[in-house]
Amino acid sequence: MNKVLLLEDDLLFGESLQDLLEEDGYEVQWCRNGQEALDATFHTKFDIYLLDINVPLIDGISLLHDLRRGDDKTPAIFLTSHVEKEMMVQGFQSGADDYMTKPFDTDELLLRMNARLMRTAKMCDECGVLQLDHQQKRAFIEGVELNLSVKEYALLSLLARHVNKVVTKEMIAAELWSASESASNGAIRVYINRLKGELGNMVIENIRGIGYRLVS
C-alpha cells in the first residue's frame, strides 16, 4: 500500500481527497499546515507527496524546497488554486514533479500519481522476496519495510547485487567506508548480524575467512 502525504488546509476538500485516495487503496496522512507535514516526513517514509501551496506556518513551495535540499527525492505533485505561470515556475523550481490547478479531474490525479509511482518503482531491484528501492534507500520483504540504517542498506544492496555469490570483506569495506575511514572485521560482523536479524528466512552465509553470501 503506497503512503501519501497530503498537505491541505481546506477541511472539506482535504476530507474529500482523503476519502478518494483511501478508496483507491492509498494510505493517507493528512496534514493541515506545513510544519505538521515537515514533522511527518521525519517519522514516516512516504511514497508520494500531494501539496497545497497556500497553507499555514510553512507554505508548500518552501516545504518542498527544504525537503529537496535534504536529498528527499519522493515524487511530489502540487495541487493548488494558483493559475499564474510564475507560481507554476516556482513550484517546479522547488522540486515538484507535477502541478495541477484546482478544480481538477480526480481521475486525472490518480493517473498522474500512478505514473509517478511506476517510474519510482523502476528504480527498484527485486531479489526473491526482497525489494530494494535505491532512490529512497528502503528495503522490503514481501511488502514489509525493514528498519535499516544507511550503512545497513548499503551492505544489503551490495549483497543483493551479488546474490548467491561471495562478497569479500574487502568489497564490503570499500562499499561502506571511505578511504579515510578504517573498517574492522568486528564492525562488519555487527552490520551482518543486524541484517540477519532483519531478513527473517533469507540467509546470509559466512564464508569463513573470506566474506559473506546472500542466498536467494
Pick the more confident residue, 183 or 153: 153
108 grid coordinates: 486525472
Q: Is the pLDDT of residue 7 over 80?
A: yes
153 grid coordinates: 542498506
Of 71, 136, 61, which is closest to residue 93 (Cα–Cα)? 61
Q: What local confidence, expressed as pLDDT, does residue 123 receive? A: 47
Residue owning grid cell 527473517: 200
Confidence of residue 206 (pLDDT cuts 50, 70, 90): very high
**Range of 36-45, 124-133, 136-145 with top mean pLDDT:** 36-45
38 grid coordinates: 515537515
CA distances from 104 to 13, 83, 110 (A): 12, 12, 11
Among residues of the chain, what percentage have pLDDT more than 90?
49
Compute the radius of gyration of the chain from its Cα atoms.
21
Output DSSP code: residue 112. H
Q: Is the pLDDT of residue 200 over 90?
A: no
CA distance 203 to 194: 12
Asked whether 130 and 140 are in contact (CB, 8 A), the reply is: yes
Domains in the chain, CATH or no CATH each:
3-121 (3.40.50.2300), 124-215 (1.10.10.10)
197 grid coordinates: 536479524
Question: What confidence tens digit (pLDDT) does each residue in 40-70 have?
Answer: 999 888 889 999 999 999 999 999 999 999 8
46 grid coordinates: 512516504
CA distance 140 to 42: 19
Question: What confidence tens digit (pLDDT) does each residue in 74-117 have?
Answer: 899 999 988 888 888 988 999 999 999 998 899 999 999 988 88
Asked whether 64 and 89 are in contact (CB, 8 A), the reply is: no
Residue 109, classed as helix, strand or coil, is helix
35 grid coordinates: 510544519
The secondary element (H helix, E strand) that includes residue 191 is helix 185-199
Average pLDDT in the chain: 88
Any idea which of 119-123, 142-146, 169-173, 174-178 has the lowest mean pLDDT?
Answer: 119-123
Pick the more confident residue, 129 or 167: 167
Q: How far is CA 182 from the centre of its chain?
A: 30
Question: What confidence tens digit (pLDDT) does each residue in 162-189 have?
Answer: 888 899 999 999 888 877 777 788 889 9
